[in-house]
Structure formats: C-alpha cells, structure tokens
Amino acid sequence: MRKYTFLLILLFSASAFAQNEIPLKVGAERTDLYFPLLTDKRVAVMTNQTGIAGNEHLVDMLVRHRFNVVGIFSPEHGFRGTADAGEHVASSTDEKTSIPIWSLYGSGSGKPSPEKMKQFDVLLFDLQDVGLRFYTYYASMARLMDACAEHGKKMIVLDRPNPNGFYVDGPILDMKHKSGVGWLPIPVVHGMTLGELALMINGEKWLPGGRICDVTVVPCDNYTHQTRYELPIAPSPNLPNIHSIYLYPSTCLFEGTVMSLGRGTSFPFEVYGHPQYKGSGFSFTPRSVTGAKNPPLLNKKCYGTDLREVPNELIWKNKFDLSYVIDAYNNLNMGEKFFTSFFEKLVGVEYIRKDITAGKPAEEIRKKWACDVETFKRQRKPYLLYPE
C-alpha cells in the first residue's frame, strides 16, 4: 500500500512538473490566431523594443512573412525605448526595414492624424505594460482604440503578461485628476493585461461618446494572474529590472514630490533621497544619462534610503505602499512644500496628501481605498481572459 501511495505521489508530482514546464506564449507568438486577419491588408503596428516574438521583433517577423507593413506607431520612450519620460519623440524611419515611424508621444492629442488613419486597414498593438495606472502605454492603447473607432479601422491587441498582475491595490482615479498619467477610472494597480483592459474599455464604454472599437485580443497561452513573469526586455529605460518594476507602484509617487527616486543612476525606482534627508549613511548623485537627461536634483548629492535589498516577497505583501513617501515627508519636515501638483495626478485622489500631512499612518490611509479595490474587482471580472 505504501509503495502504491508513493507511486501515485510520484506520478502527480511528475504531472505537475510537466504542466509547469509548458512555456508561456505571448500573443505575438500565436501567429495562427492573427496572421489570417492581416492577409491582403495594409498593416500599421504600435510597438517598441518589447515587441518580441520568440527571438525576433514583431516588425521583422511581419516583413519576413511579406505582410504589407505601412507604418510603425511609437509610444512614450520611442520605438527603440531610449527617450526620457515625457520627452517629445520625433517621427523618423526604421533603419532596418525602411518603414516610417510615426511618433504619437508629445504630439498633442496622442491620436494619429486623419491622414495617417487613411494609410492602413488594420492596427496591430503590441506593447509590454507593467500594470500601473500612471504607466502611459494603456492610455496610448485607449487613444488608438478611439481613433480606430472613429475611422472604422480594425485593431488587434497582441497580449502580454502583466508583471504586477497578481494583485489589485490603490484608489480608483477621481476623473477630475485625469491626465496623461491617469487616463481611466481604475486603481493604481489594476492587475489586468492590456488585452483585458481593451475589452473593459469597450465594455464599460470608456471611449469618448461611448464609441466602440472593433478590437480582437490575441491572448497569452499558459498564463494566469498568479504567474510571476519576469520581463525579458526592459519596458522603458528607468525600469531596468523586475525589482524596480515591483517597487514602481509605490516609489513612483516620489515623482510628485521634491525627492529623487534615482533617475540618473543605475538603480531608478529602487532608492529615494534628497540633499536635506537626515540620518542616512546612504547617498547617490543623479547624473545626466540616456533615458534621464535632466533628472530631478541633477548633480546634487542626495541622502536617503536604498531599497535594493528589500525582498520581492515583502514588496508583494505590502503592495501599493505609502510608507516610503510618509518616511520622506516626515524626515524633510517641510510641510506642503514636499509635494508638487503632480502628486494628485499620480495617486488620483485628494485625500492621500491630506492624510499624510495630518500625520496618519500608511495602514490607516489604505483602509480608505479598500472598497475601491473590491468594487473594481467585481467590475473587471467579465473582462478577464486568464484565471485569477
């Protein structure tokens, strides 16, 4: 009997191991699901350096299969992903394929001109997101969905895993704070892939005038919301590794303060500091570098806190964590001057700044958005493509 039980356990373990060994496929790799939709069509692509299918860039793969790619739209940070956050990116031509690159970032509305919309029949969207309301790629997707809806164009979203897709946290955006870093009424950490979010944008009629985009999502294969997915390519110059991506929901809030979060160093979003920060032996000096040409506190020695050794498991446990900002606020002791007007655009609500200045601890403040999290989880459920 013991021998039989042991064999059963062995078989179960082998089966579980085999299931875990099934490789995850991103949407771009599932060519059988979208290549037929591109036949005899003029194709535009919205992508950047993360648009990899296997060992090949999506654009190169499409050209190799002789699809008629007429243009490449590029998001914030540009087609090659090297531009600063918020930097105007000029249109150009891809040197490898000679396909024109049409920049959408820093161009006003962020939507293609009517002339550009006339040049293609179907738009392929393939960007690696990190699952945050203030990360701009989903806003680019929403604006392109709106343009396609206006002009009667087909859009195909090639889905990719969300590295922060295993939880939902933070307040839902108060739409009076809508901006380029807060485009939809969703929490700070929404826990969805861009494909799922595209379906939700249509389903909740979030496009202007209630327009509906003709969108097809090519889902990932062998992915769930509990998958811990490490990005093979950095999604933007200041998120160089998975640890920075896990910290990003919390440390990005320093963009709305007088602090440096390490832009202009080799460890952005993994530290925070200021020349007047007291009681710390850790220091860094922001420099002008690729992807951060003019970072906050440029060339000024900053003292602060190094988060590089914080375990991933602790970051996952604390989720959207205000304790870093509260620590820095208390340390600098400069009152309202600690914050800039950008802070509300990031957090999306007014009560967080007020509660921090009132001296409330992080755990007390987070109770205020608990209902937002549960409400959003129910709202998003019909649009989820992957098991929770």
Q: Residue 329: phi, psi to the nearest 5?
A: -60, -45
Please state, as a whole number, how many other Cβ atoms lie within 10 Å of the Cβ of residue 301: 12
Amino acid at 233: I
Chain-centre distance for alpha carbon 173: 16
**pLDDT for 10:** 39
**pLDDT for 92:** 79
CB 171, CB 187: distance < 8 Å? yes
**pLDDT for 102:** 87
CB 131, CB 162: distance < 8 Å? yes
Alpha helices in 152-268 (DSSP H): 194-203, 242-251
**pLDDT for 109:** 62
**pLDDT for 22:** 87
Q: How far apart are CA 78 and CA 99, in angstroms?
A: 15
CB 362, CB 326: distance < 8 Å? yes
| Neighbouring residues of 359: CB distance < 8 A, sequence distance ≥ 6 | none
CB 226, CB 166: distance < 8 Å? yes
Q: Residue 34: phi, psi to the nearest 5?
A: -130, -20
| Surface-to-core class of residue 67, CB atoms within 10 Å of its CB (0-12 exposed, 13-18 middle, 19+ buried) | buried
Q: How far apart are CA 261 and CA 324, in angstroms?
A: 11
Q: How far apart are CA 44 and CA 100, in angstroms?
A: 10
**pLDDT for 74:** 83
**pLDDT for 237:** 87
CA distances to 39, 165, 225, 376 from 228, rounded to whole Å, are 35, 8, 8, 22
**pLDDT for 76:** 59
**pLDDT for 13:** 40
| Surface-to-core class of residue 204, CB atoms within 10 Å of its CB (0-12 exposed, 13-18 middle, 19+ buried) | middle
CB 72, CB 80: distance < 8 Å? no
**pLDDT for 104:** 78
The number of CA neighbours under 13 Å toward the Cβ of 300 is: 18
Report DSSP state, residue 230: P
Buried b (16+ CB within 10 A) or exposed e, 123-146: bbbbbbbbbbbbbbbbbbbbbbbb
Domains defined for the chain, CATH in brackets: 27-231 (3.40.50.12170), 242-308+322-361 (no CATH)
**pLDDT for 314:** 98
Give the pair of three-digit tokens for residue 361: 């601890």
The helix/strand/coil state of 134 is: coil
Low-confidence ranges of the chain (pLDDT < 50): 1-19, 81-83, 85-87, 106-107
Condensed to tens digits (0 to 9), the pLDDT of residues 314-341 reads: 999 999 999 999 999 999 999 999 999 9
